[in-house]
Amino acid sequence: MDLLLLEKTLLGLFAATLLAITVSKLRGKRFKLPPGPIPVPVFGNWLQVGDDLNHRNLTELAKKFGQILLLRMGQRNLVVVSSPNLAKDVLHTQGVEFGSRTRNVVFDIFTGKGQDMVFTVYGEHWRKMRRIMTVPFFTNKVVQQNRFGWEDEAGRVVEDVRKNPEAATDGMVLRRRLQLMMYNNMYRIMFDRRFESEEDPLFVKLKALNGERSRLAQSFEYNYGDFIPVLRPFLRGYLKVCKDVKERRLKLFKDYFVDERKKLGSRKSIDSNGKCAMDHILDAQNKGEINEDNVLYIVENINVAAIETTLWSIEWGVAELVNHPHIQNKLRNELDSVLGPGVQITEPDIEKLPYLQAVVKETLRLRMAIPLLVPHMNLHDAKLGGYDIPAESKILVNAWWLANNPDNWKNPEEFRPERFFEEESKVEANGNDFRYLPFGVGRRSCPGIILALPILGITLGRLVQNFDLLPPPGEPKIDTAEKAGQFSLQIMKHSIIVLKPRSF
Ligand code: HEM
């Protein structure tokens, strides 16, 4: 054995002994840990379970180890919760104890170590940010002020598709146009700004930087440095790329949007009805409640939390409607009979359209955009389901499985909006039932639900009113294979959709 190998072996043995001692301490004397696969030294369960901890793989593990299970990913504890009662405990009963978020070296970069709202720990800063963001983003007044904008954007999608004769024959990748619509929906709220076309250079730049940020943050590439801290120095290159993307992105938000709005505000006084979200946020900055970095991180949070999540849900809704023509027809009949053929749906109509609401709910159930919620974390040692949970564990609530477990739902694999009139008539998307939490529930639940539901209703409603939505020519169905990331459940292929205009 040469010296180098001997040195490596001794180091390995040393690390293994250290880990074995730590694990036995945790498992043994003080802690009664949740069940899970037996960890090996240094790596824990990482090599057994791999990187791809998506909702389906975690469901398989829950079937084996139970409704609460522990995985050791290197030095990190990961607790997976898979029953409505335990979800209630994490999100509601012990909402404070489990109300923090995990971060890692990469998220520390993108959030400036938690200067944002989505990824900050539960405490004073989070409370302040959530309060400051509520008036500009998360009230019914915001919906009433902005719904005309969303109706206008959905109308422009319909207009553009009608103008494109190929859409009715060869079809088009509708997602691209819907993405522009979602950016416009959110940038109108934030800055009273919109992008004219998919080719708008600012839109192209923004989309690319947001895409890079999502890819870098969600990638499994940096796990080794996160799970095994001694390997962190090898992440230097990766972290440098993250820093670069973060800086370019925040600079773009600042130079092209925040500063522009500031200039406009200093030229004329904007009355309270003409205010966009950024005017309120800048008021909070002027009062000294938050600093300039916080302002930029609010813009960053809305970019990651609002745009793609809603877009994925719209895309899934379209795919399910294409693949279930009888449901599409039933929805069209509802729209035609309640509103009159050709009368374009607006936000206040949604409450008169129960089948449309059921289609939205069923889409969010079967194709839950954030199937494991945003990971929660306990700052201190805690108890859950009769087990000890060591401080700073990452807690994943498998919300997708809660809503797709055949023990709790009738034929959950079927796309059947009717379930929300029949056996599930009392279930709402706001978390009134712990089997169905597409937006989470409790302190860290999604405040954007108040915007997401009407945007989904208006968009799907307008599309079905104005077009027959069909699969690509020669194919019976759209491919609905899933692409699941750490925080997301998206459709794998952005399919071509044929949109045949209806005439009225
Ligand atoms: C269909 C669309 C959407 C879905 C499915 C969705 C889902 C979620 C989920 C599951 C969470 C985490 C809940 C938890 O950890 O317990 C969340 C958090 C959040 N969402 Fe949404 N969301 C959507 C749209 C939006 C929109 C439109 C906005 C903003 C305008 C938004 C803003 C946020 C924020 C700020 C948080 C973090 C809350 C906190 O940590 O306190 N979301 N969302």
**Ligand 1 closest atom vs CA 374:** 15
- Residue nearest (by alpha carbon) to ligand 1 atom 42: 448
Quick one: which H or E segment has residue 222?
none
pTM of the model: 0.94
**Is 242 part of any known ligand binding site?**
no
Q: Are 97 and 89 in contact (CB under 8 A)?
A: no
Residue whose CA is at the smallest distance from ligand 1 atom 7: 439
Q: Which residues contact 257 (CB under 8 A, 6 or more apart)?
A: 187, 190, 191, 193, 278, 299
How close is the Cα of 444 to the center of ligand 1, in Å? 9
Radius of gyration of the chain (CA): 24
Cα–Cα dist 330/321, whole Å: 10
Residue 75 alpha carbon to ligand 1 centre in Å: 28
Atom of ligand 1 at shortest range from CA of 312: 1
Q: How far is the CA of 186 from the centre of ligand 1 (A)?
A: 14
Cα 375 to averaged position of ligand 1 atoms, centre (Å): 12
- For a pocket test of ligand 1, which of 301, 361, 430, 439 has the largest count of ligand atoms closer than 8 A to its C-beta? 439
- pLDDT tens-place values along the chain, 504 residues long: 444 444 544 455 455 555 555 555 555 557 999 999 999 999 999 999 999 899 999 999 999 999 999 999 999 999 999 999 999 999 999 999 999 999 899 999 999 999 999 999 999 999 999 999 999 999 999 999 999 999 999 999 999 999 999 999 999 999 999 999 999 999 999 999 999 999 999 999 999 999 999 999 988 889 999 999 999 999 999 999 999 999 999 999 999 999 999 998 776 666 777 899 999 999 999 999 999 999 999 999 999 999 999 999 999 999 999 999 999 999 999 999 999 999 999 999 999 999 999 999 999 999 999 999 999 999 999 999 999 999 999 999 999 999 999 999 999 999 999 999 999 999 999 999 999 999 999 999 999 999 999 999 999 999 999 999 999 999 999 999 999 877 799 999 999 999 999 998
Binding pocket residue ranges, ligand 1, CB within 6 Å: 91, 117-118, 130, 137, 301-302, 305-306, 309-310, 313, 369-370, 373-374, 438-440, 444-448, 451-452
Residue nearest to ligand 1 atom 31, measured at CA: 448
Query: In sequence order, what E strands does 313-403 have?
Result: 376-377, 382-384, 387-389, 394-397
User: 209 near 293, Cβ under 8 Å?
Assistant: no
Select from 366, 353, 352, 354 the least CA-distant residue to 324.
366
Give CA–CA dist 116/293, Å, rounded: 9
Structure tokens at 69: 């299970």
- Nearest CA owner, ligand 1 atom 27: 306
Pairing of strands 482-484, 489-491: antiparallel
